[in-house]
Structure 1
């Protein structure tokens, strides 16, 4: 007699279903816990940004637009192209670029980590910042004049751009627009880039007490530096009439007691040719200069000119300021915690200048037609990328940057913004 199939046991079926349900529930719980753990390792501010980004993306997609990425907020990722068998391809240019100031040529000066400096790539949290293509840039910006206006940190950026372009287009002629410290034209593209040196943006020079007396003399001032807050320095006053793209900066010289001693050689501010009374401190003077210079550039620039203001480049002195034995011997970027220890305004440390200057910049630029080129956050991490003792000075150079180096990424940021604006 053939055996019959037994009817299903209801009790067995019930427990089998229950076990399956519990197993799936456990899996879901583990997945949720892992997701929460991944989120928890991010800084609180980053979690909030990610949430806001999600909300923004949803909102933008409903309206048919796309949200802009914050290129300035991210992390540095080590990328050893040599290990991948590509030789020295991580170098955009090398130490033979003659425009590199000797003190910034870390490879030529054999700084201990010069070849490591360029192996770090900046990765924004919510998008990609591509390394710009110099040939595409030259082709896209034919018949264009680009001017860098500011202190030696803007020259740092100018040289980085020049050396990158020179490597792919060697037909170059030296040519300086009126007032420029240096400049070059890439002949095959009729593209000119130049650097206009100015420390304070406004005109300034030595001041001495007048024997006939005056408002400042009556307060006991005998000498100092006169800054005309409403008059541009002659090195760049014609730049807005000539350049199609301008990148401004100022900041380091405003907090420079070694150059402008508050007692022996104070900054004395003038407006409309007369002293500002009562005399004001440098930070208030900076606000006045920014107000006047931003307004002046907007009035003088040619139609269609694109203007940027670069945020402050951070310094990385440890153990004291530059004239107090401070040094910068790091071999890799700082951690987020170390960045806050270096630059928190509340800590009032040696390098606090960067964020202080930026507070003035952001306030002055609000509502203007300037585009902000925010390089501060990405640069704060790079304590490893200064010339240090290889700069050839009697003290460590923890302010300027090795070339090739961090300012190459500034130009990636600049050109990414420029492409977005032009498109």
Structure 2
């Protein structure tokens, strides 16, 4: 199922060559879909028609917030469980929500099956309530939330906008005309939600124009977001797929090594060196912010699901149902990246406690590992489009599995900062 497994079976390369090809190609497909997203982003963001909700769904299925107790009293690990059928889903459609980017608008582009939208997450030892937009907005009244990371972070925010649309549409209050930053306000609740585009989380730039090689400064904060978040009440950090590509690593402004760069006299560092250093720098940056009193969520690595080849050699994701937990397991670079995130999170959390800061683990990795059916695959564009496009098994359809991220998030907010395992 996974990248590494496919390459070992289909090629005659060594393990080192296998990992290299797999990781570079995983990165490139993310870059391709990120670039094409940028091309349509300004149209998505600034049309005056987007402020009008012509398809608001009825409220009969929404219950007042007071009637929703938290599962935290049951001391339940909400991230350990299975996907079970949910015939009532989805709670919005691609025709009722304008916030869906083209490449995640699977139903618009002809996906024939709909069952992938009709599942919910069932923890083994308790129930996880379906996201209640009224309750969420009441909790967020007068507060702010920032989504910080790559295009999956933006995917998450768009999912939340759609889920909240049954109550209210936000107003675009971005102070710059730039896809790398978007800010929305829910006027009735004085709630602000923002997205900061920072795929490497730390300072990074292309080695040269039109390059897939990035210079990544592992010990330097990315000031485009770290200087902006201290006013936010909640910050959700994510990062993953962009670290699978070619990079030159800098520390103290000096080259310390590279990943898949083929530069002479430069030490080749393994896949995980830069990833660990990056999260250490990010968490250090947050813990060092003056006057920051917000809570930081780490949303963990989201696996891709290419099968039958790699992304540009026929790889696809055509499954129509979730895996059961006994049908697959986290392995290879997915397992290692998740492990690194957990280790660095624990270190940051301990330091944060000393400063009175909250760090909470939004551990979505296992739930998303079980959803090979939820990606756009080829249903992010018209099949007769006259250009070379590839299957997308990295991002997620909307409506789709990542709507569960808001279920998790709301439950954690109701736990009032209790550890992810309660």
Matched, 1:409 2:409: no
Asked which structure has the greater CA Rg, the reply is 1
- Higher normalized contact order (CA 8 Å, seq sep 6+, divided by chain length): 2
TM-score w.r.t. length of structure 1: 0.70
1:118 aligns with 2:98: no
Uncovered stretches (5+) of structure 1, i.e. residues with no partner: 1-64, 82-89, 209-222, 261-266, 346-352
In structure 2, how many angstroms separate the alpha carbons of the residues matched to 1:365 and 1:354? 17
* Change over 3 Å in CA distance of 1:224–1:304 after alignment to 2: closer
Distance apart, 1:224 and its partner CA: 4.7
2:339 paired with 1:359:
yes
Question: 1:231-275 CA distances to partner (integer Å, 9 max, x unpaired)?
Answer: 22243122321211000011101113xxx2xxxxxx222222222
CA distance in structure 1 between the aligned counterparts of 2:319 and 2:233, rounded to whole angstroms:
39
Q: 2:76 aligns with which of 69, 87, 94?
A: 69
Aligned Cα RMSD in Å?
2.3
- Give 1:356 deviation, angstroms: 2.2
2: CA distance, partners of 1:330 / 1:192? 37
| 1:317 shift after superposition | 0.6
Q: How far does the alpha carbon of each residue in 1:211-244 deviate from its partner, in whole angstroms, 9 at most, with x for none?
A: xxxxxxxxxxxx9532111222243122321211
CA distance in 2, matches of 1:329, 1:239: 40
SS at match of 2:163: helix
The corresponding residue for 1:295 is 284
Match for residue 69 of structure 2? none
What is the match of residue 198 of structure 2? 198
Residue 147 of structure 1 contacts residue 239 of structure 1 at CA under 8 Å; is this kept in 2? no
Q: Deviations over 1:42-77 (max 9, x none)?
A: xxxxxxxxxxxxxxxxxxxxxxx9563111111111
Deviations 1:100-156 (A, max 9, x none): 10110112222122x312211110000111012101211221111100001111111
SS at match of 1:147: strand
Name stretches of at least 5 consecutive residues in structure 2 with no aligned partner.
1-71, 258-265, 350-358, 382-387
TM-fit CA distance, 1:157: 0.7
Q: Note if contact 2:74-2:126 (Cα within 8 Å) is conserved in structure 1.
A: no
What is the match of residue 213 of structure 1? none
C-alpha distance in 2 between matches for 1:245 and 1:177:
20
Choose which of 303, 316, 327 in structure 2 pairs with 1:338.
Answer: 327
Q: CA deviation at 1:422?
A: 5.2
Q: Distance in 2 between matches of 1:367 and 1:281?
A: 22
- Residue in 2 aligned with 1:378? 367
Q: What pairs with 1:63-212 in structure 2 (closer than 5 Å)?
A: 68-81=75-88, 90-96=89-95, 97-113=97-113, 115-170=114-169, 172-176=170-174, 181-207=181-207
Q: CA 1:301 to 1:135, structure 2 compared with 1: closer, same or farther past 3 Å? A: farther
**Which residue does 1:368 correspond to in 2?**
348
Length-normalised TM-score, structure 2: 0.71
Over 3 Å counting, the alpha-carbon distance change for 1:153 and 1:188 in structure 2 is same
Q: Distance in 1 between matches of 2:168 and 2:253?
A: 47
Name the SS for the 2:219 alignment partner: strand
The within-5 A match list for 1:276-295 is: 276=256, 279=267, 280-295=269-284
Q: Would the aligned equivalents of 1:240 and 1:301 in 2 still touch at CA under 8 Å?
A: no
CA gap of 1:121–1:224, structure 2 versus 1, over 3 A, is closer
